[in-house]
Amino acid sequence: MERGHLTLIFDLYLIIIHGFYMKTYFYLLFLLSLSLVGQTKDAQKRLYYNPMEGDPAYAMGKYELKLQSFEESFDVLVTKQNMVNFAKKNHFSDTIPKQNPKLKIPHYYLTYYKKNGENHWQNTMIYFLGKKMDEKDVLLIATISSVSETPSEEIDTEMLQLVLDRKVPKENYMGGRSFDFLGRKVPLMDECYWTGVNIVRCPTKGEMNWSLHSSLAEAQQAITLQKRWAMMIPAPENHTMSLLMERDITLLFEGKETRATEIIYNEHYQHPILKSHHKDYKLIVYYIATEVRGQAIACVISYYDYNERLADTGLPEFVSQFVRLPKSSR
């Protein structure tokens, strides 16, 4: 066979192989784009917003985000100098603005860490971002906080981008007299009020906080950290808190049998003169990490032993909308 024929055959072979790989490449790109869209929709389901009476905040997984906006352009030199001044004024140990390689818009950020106790750190990231919104140059300051076992400057860039793009699902707007709980509308009783993005407090009917996570393992870690924090919270003046009992139990959460940790804390009033007029109270807390309707959730439910309880659930009225105790645990 002549060399020209060999070259022609080889060229045809390359064209076929190239066509195969190009088709494979574009098919993989298509699958990747579908995966990214799916990830974004999944993240949106976990993103909450609460106006919080003028102090709006967002929450997703272990992160909470607060956002301020100013009608001015993002000037690199001016922004960096302002950040250095801000860090020094607030006594940050790290005063050097940094950039996050995962974030594609103009920005710098500062870090601040606080040790709450053993294996329990409060992380605060302050991002200065430049963005065009409603055809105007805007400087945004995003304060992103999280809790972890060790100091961490990690943030969820997908969460930040969804907030910047105003893509919080309407059903995840909290703060009203009713709210969507994983696809189910729940009324807020008259005495109940919001104390955080996903925190509801009712003085006589129980309290609940929850967060949605990308995996069950992440939800379990959130519960572990919240249990540790419970023993670090400063008690009110002239009060002490101590752990009386801890056990694993089975309860009904959203109609499904679920393993939970029940912890009972004792609240003691110790004023040297008035303590004889006060008796000890017990705070009962249920720590839950599970999956509900396809979502990994960390949920903490609590009430005091003097709160009135419903006969059919063994719990106060508000939290009875989510949890029921078996008769053996009441």
Q: Is the whole model's pTM more than 0.75, yes or no?
A: yes
Instruction: Tell me if residue 7 falls in helix, strand or coil.
Output: helix
Same structural domain for residues 21 and 55?
no
Domain edge (last residue) among 164, 193, 212? 164
Q: What is the pLDDT along the chain (330 residues), one digit of tens a residue?
A: 444 443 333 343 333 334 444 444 344 444 333 333 345 578 999 999 999 988 899 999 999 999 999 999 999 999 999 999 999 999 999 999 999 999 999 999 999 999 999 999 999 999 999 998 888 899 999 999 999 999 999 999 999 999 999 999 999 999 999 999 999 999 999 999 999 999 999 999 999 999 999 999 999 999 999 999 998 887 777 778 899 999 999 999 999 999 999 999 998 877 665 555 667 899 999 999 999 999 999 999 999 999 999 999 999 999 999 999 988 776
Residue 212 included in any domain: yes
Same structural domain for residues 111 and 249?
no
Same structural domain for residues 181 and 314?
yes
Residue 169 included in any domain: no
- Nearest-angstrom CA–CA distance, 302 and 319: 8
The tally of domains found in the chain comes to 3
Give 121-133 pLDDT, tens digit per residue: 999 999 999 998 8
- Nearest-angstrom CA–CA distance, 303 and 205: 7
Domain housing 272: 174-329
Same structural domain for residues 204 and 146?
no
| Site of tokens 């920005």 | 107
Residue 320 included in any domain: yes
Q: Confirm if 99 and 76 have CB atoms less than 8 A apart.
A: no
Same structural domain for residues 31 and 129?
no
Same structural domain for residues 278 and 299?
yes
Give 219-256 pLDDT, tens digit per residue: 999 999 999 999 888 777 777 889 999 999 999 999 99
Residue 140 included in any domain: yes
Please give the structure tokens belonging to residue 93: 């140990």
Same structural domain for residues 206 and 313?
yes
Same structural domain for residues 267 and 200?
yes
Q: Confirm if 60 and 212 have CB atoms less than 8 A apart.
A: yes
Look up the CATH number of the domain holding residue 278. 3.40.1000
